[in-house]
């Protein structure tokens, strides 16, 4: 269903001064989803977002948003008319007041929502007459989010939306996002290295490491597929070379053999059963563990 994806990239690559920032990124984000883009610092999250919004050009590969080519200046304008972006720095115009930046932004978006503006001005308790440069980072984040949410955008792209915020402000921002996405039928694509945030609000997750997508799927599916299996033996755990698909990290610790699986349990259990383990214990895996296992496996 290639025509229904809001975001789609094929073998997206980007080189900066000899550094490979993206090494063939393939992404598909479906409409209406809240997709968490998870990765360590420098993994390629911001670069991918910038390419999607026409702020940077790919070295090769394709990026489409709403079916429009992100590297075409004309189509990129339309992409930006239908989407909203909040950068990690929340860099707004320091000399403008909150009121002035709202008046500056609103006319650029034909679907600007004054009702939402009033709602979020009240909700975030923003000082309309103060200059942006005098605001705290938390308040600046709320202004940036307000400007993004009121555009009537179909896609919200957020780069580390809660970075630098205290836990209370971060929670407020996340709650506002979830409520907005739920009521306005919009797609949210947000990056973070805060696993708990993605776990809290995303329904889909993409894990990127060193410019490559390692995991891409619905969060529920990932939780279902990823399992940690503990085999306990009467003697020291044997060394096993698995043939089954989806075997992640294998660890032997005394009498215990631990296997991380990303493709079900049964084939792995069947391979170990002839070795007569005393007990087999299957444990669900958290998103944090999935992230750490996949990222560490790359190292």
56 binds other proteins (CB under 8 A): yes
22 binds other proteins (CB under 8 A): no
The span from the CA of 191 to the CA of 171, in Å, is: 16
The minimum distance between CB 78 and other proteins, in angstroms, equals: 7
Of 12, 53, 98, 207, which one interacts with other proteins (CB under 8 A)? Answer: 53
Closer residue to other proteins (CB): 132 or 198: 132
64 binds other proteins (CB under 8 A): no
77 binds other proteins (CB under 8 A): yes
- β-partners of residue 261 are 227, 247
- For residue 251, what are its two tokens? 């660890």
Of 6, 84, 177, 290, which one interacts with other proteins (CB under 8 A)? Answer: 84
The minimum distance between CB 128 and other proteins, in angstroms, equals: 17
The angle at the Cα of 286, spanning 25 to 186, to the nearest 5 degrees, equals 55
Closer residue to other proteins (CB): 53 or 268: 53
Closer residue to other proteins (CB): 190 or 233: 190
93 binds other proteins (CB under 8 A): yes
The span from the CA of 178 to the CA of 201, in Å, is: 7
92 binds other proteins (CB under 8 A): yes
Closer residue to other proteins (CB): 67 or 238: 67
Closer residue to other proteins (CB): 60 or 196: 60
Closer residue to other proteins (CB): 85 or 291: 85
85 binds other proteins (CB under 8 A): yes
Closer residue to other proteins (CB): 97 or 258: 97
73 binds other proteins (CB under 8 A): yes
54 binds other proteins (CB under 8 A): yes
Of residues 107 through 166, those in contact with other proteins by CB under 8 A are 107-109, 144, 147
Q: Which of 244, 210, 237 has the alpha carbon at shortest distance from 39?
A: 210
The footprint of other proteins on this chain (CB under 8 A) covers a number of residues equal to 31
Closer residue to other proteins (CB): 83 or 162: 83
The minimum distance between CB 77 and other proteins, in angstroms, equals: 5
* HEC sequence for the chain: CHHHCCEEEEEEEEEECCEEEEEEEEEEECCCCEEEEEECCCCCHHHHHHHHCCCCCCCEEEEEECCEECCCHHHHHHHHHCEEEECCCCCCCCCCEHHHHHHHHHHHCCCCCHHHHHHHHHHHCCCCCCEHHHCCHHHHHHHHHHHHHCCCCCEEEEECCCCCCCHHHHHHHHHHHHHHHHHHCCEEEEEECCHHHHHHHCCEEEEEECCEEEEEEEHHHHHHHCEEEEEECCCCCCCCCCCCCCEEEEEEECCEEEEEECCCCHHHHHHHHHHCCCEEEEEECCHHHHHHHHHHHHC
Q: What is the dihedral of CA 38, 42, 46, 52, to 10 degrees?
A: -90
Question: Which residue stretch of 103-111, 166-174, 179-187, 258-266 sits at the interface with other proteins (rule: CB under 8 A)?
Answer: 103-111
96 binds other proteins (CB under 8 A): yes
Residues that bind other proteins (CB under 8 A): 16, 50, 53-57, 73, 77-78, 80-81, 84-85, 87, 89, 91-96, 100, 103-105, 107-109, 144, 147
């Amino acid at each position: 269903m290639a025509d229904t994806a809001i975001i789609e990239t094929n073998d997206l690559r980007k080189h900066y001064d000899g550094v490979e920032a993206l090494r063939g990124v393939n992404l598909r984000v479906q409409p209406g989803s809240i997709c968490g883009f998870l990765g360590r610092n420098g993994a390629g999250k911001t670069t991918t977002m910038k390419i999607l919004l026409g702020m940077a050009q790919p070295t090769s590969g394709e990026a489409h948003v709403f079916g429009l080519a992100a590297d075409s200046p004309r189509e990129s304008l339309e992409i930006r008319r239908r989407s909203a972006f909040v950068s990690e720095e929340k860099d707004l115009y320091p000399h403008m007041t909150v009121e002035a930046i709202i008046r500056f932004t609103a006319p650029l978006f034909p679907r600007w929502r004054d009702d939402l503006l009033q709602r979020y001005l009240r909700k975030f308790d923003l000082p309309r007459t103060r200059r942006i440069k005098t605001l705290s980072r938390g308040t600046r984040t709320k202004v940036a989010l307000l400007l993004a949410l009121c555009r009537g955008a179909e896609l919200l792209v957020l780069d580390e939306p809660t970075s630098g915020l205290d836990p209370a402000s971060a929670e407020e921002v996340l709650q506002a996002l979830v409520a907005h996405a739920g009521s306005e039928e919009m797609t949210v694509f947000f990056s973070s290295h805060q696993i708990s945030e993605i776990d809290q609000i995303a329904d889909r997750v993409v894990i990127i490491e060193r410019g490559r997508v390692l995991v891409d799927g619905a969060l529920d599916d990932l939780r279902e597929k990823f399992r940690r299996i503990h085999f306990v033996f009467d003697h020291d755990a044997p060394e096993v070379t698995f043939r089954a698909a989806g075997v992640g990290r294998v660890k032997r610790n005394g009498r215990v053999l631990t296997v991380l699986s990303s493709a079900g349990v049964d084939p792995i259990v069947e391979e170990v059963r002839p070795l007569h383990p005393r007990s087999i214990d299957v444990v669900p895996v958290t998103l944090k563990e999935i992230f750490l296992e996949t990222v560490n496996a790359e190292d």
